Amino acid sequence: MRAWLRKLSRPRKRRGLDLPGPPLPPPPFLAGSALGRRAGQLAAYQGWVFAAVNAIASRAAGVPLRLLRREPDGPGPEVTRHPLRDLLARPNPIMTGRELRYTLITHLELTGMAFALVSDNALGLPAELWPLSPADLVEIETGRHTGRPIEAFRFSDGQGAEVRYRPEEVLYFRHPSPTSLVYGASPIEAMAHAFDIDLAVRVYQKNFFKNSARPEVVLSTDSRLSEDEARRILTRWTQKHQGLAHVFEPTLLDGGLKATPLAFSAKDFEFLALAGWTQDNILAAYRVPAGKLGLVKDLNRANAFAVDVTFNAECIRPRLQLIEEVLGAFLLPRFGDELVLAHDNPVPTDRVQNHREMMDQLDRGVITINEARAGLGRPAVAWGDAPYHAGTRRPPAAPADAAGLARAAEAIYRRLEPRFAGWSAGRVKSELRRRPELWAGLRRAGLSPGQRDRVRAVITDCLVRGQSLETMRQALRGAVKEDDK
């Protein structure tokens, strides 16, 4: 039925496609032309690019990805046993789920594109996921109309031949490009000049220490010295001034000798300043705060927490949402329509601030003690349903009478009975345990903890059995009589 409705909802006319080709490479500057090719972008995994990409991939790959049941009002309980869950945990014989996600995110951040090959089993279901190197991508073949915008992905097999994959065989992740509808945009390509300068600085520093090693002092004279005299003077100078035991000892020079210290040129210090400029530009391209890499020395707890929140909220969470959307659009439908994939929220919460806000709400009577305890996952107390005011001690609430108990139970049952109609017993129990707010009416009815537990047990049993309201009333009266005995 759903497939038939989807066919009816498709547009009857297709617009012709005139898609642009791959985006142009950046202007040549030192090694800039190499960053226009995906192999060169992968080779840029060094220096500050490595630091930024590794920070992103390590954090994003470590956030748990959960498989949830789809409910009418949003994601439901977590699915603990399912073939898709097993596939994401062990995508292929040589990789774990975290390794696959790390690899794909690294490809995505370097080239703007990441590919995962989907291998099916004999039943036609995805059985393995293999990462494909963006450097091996030859071309993304585009279609002639919007009904099939991508015809195939052509990859090189590394031996001179090409392999053509259908769009259904490849999971395609990409950073959208302003110049192409099908190719991705590489962050490092956008900062090609900064990367080239950073590479030049590091090469210069290496060559300086490797090839330009020089003494700190030059001994010069206007007289012409024989080889033996020069060797004798150098030997005496070394014996007199080399080593910690001879530090700051004075010296006498004869024969017209002059000692001239060698200093670094201004160009050496300019290169040091350039290193900081390239670092800032590359980290800005990836939205990675310098504090996440340990580059801020005066970091305190407040600053560290703010850096962590900024990094996870503005850098990590958008990438996790991109992964969820691709998997949800192209992989989940092959396992049915009743599943949802969602990452845990990577943004940390400030427990000190949350505690301060909760205490303010308690002091002003906005929430009760039991509502605050429910938010902490703790059981309710008998005296916690009345508004709390600082410095005021509330006596325990009086137990409700039989009539009040029945009214509270009926109100709860009238609200939950149509909600759980047709549900299985296990699903009903799981939902009632998972959502304590469904029992909020019992806390407001002035029931003691013992009374609430008895009412919850009766209502749960009747909902599981699918019984009527009148049957629940009789069961509740029977439970009250047993307590009275």
280-326 tens-digit pLDDT: 888 888 888 888 887 776 677 777 888 888 899 999 999 999 999 99
To the nearest 10°, report the CA torsion of 371, 376, 379, 382. Answer: -40
To the nearest 10°, report the CA torsion of 9, 15, 17, 23. Answer: -70
Q: Which of 106, 59, 101, 66 is nearest to 313 (CA)?
A: 59
Question: What is the residue-wise DSSP string for 101-164?
Answer: HHHHHHHHHHHSEEEEEEEE-TTSSEEEEEEE-GGGEEEEEE-SBTTSSEEEEEEE-SSS-EEE
Residue 53 has pLDDT above 60, yes or no: yes
| C-alpha 82 chain-centroid distance | 24
Q: Average pLDDT of 141-162?
A: 85
The phi and psi torsions of 410 (rounded to 5 degrees) equal -65, -40
For residue 349, give the 3-state DSSP assignment.
Answer: coil
The pLDDT tens digits of the residues spanning 161-201 come to: 889 999 999 999 999 988 888 899 888 887 776 776 776 66
Query: pLDDT tier at 354 (50, 70, 90 boundaries)?
Result: confident
The pLDDT tens digits of the residues spanning 233-252 come to: 777 777 776 666 655 666 66
Query: pLDDT tier at 42 (50, 70, 90 boundaries)?
Result: confident
Q: Which of 116, 102, 282 is nearest to 186 (CA)?
A: 282
The pLDDT tens digits of the residues spanning 264-288 come to: 565 555 666 666 777 788 888 888 8
Residue 391 has pLDDT above 60, yes or no: no
Q: Which of 83, 92, 88, 96 is nearest to 66 (CA)?
A: 88
| C-alpha 171 chain-centroid distance | 19
CB of 316 closer than 8 Å to CB of 60: yes
Sorted by where each begins, the domain ranges of the chain are: 23-190+288-348, 349-397, 398-485
Mean pLDDT, the chain, whole residue set: 77
For residue 449, give the 3-state DSSP assignment.
Answer: helix
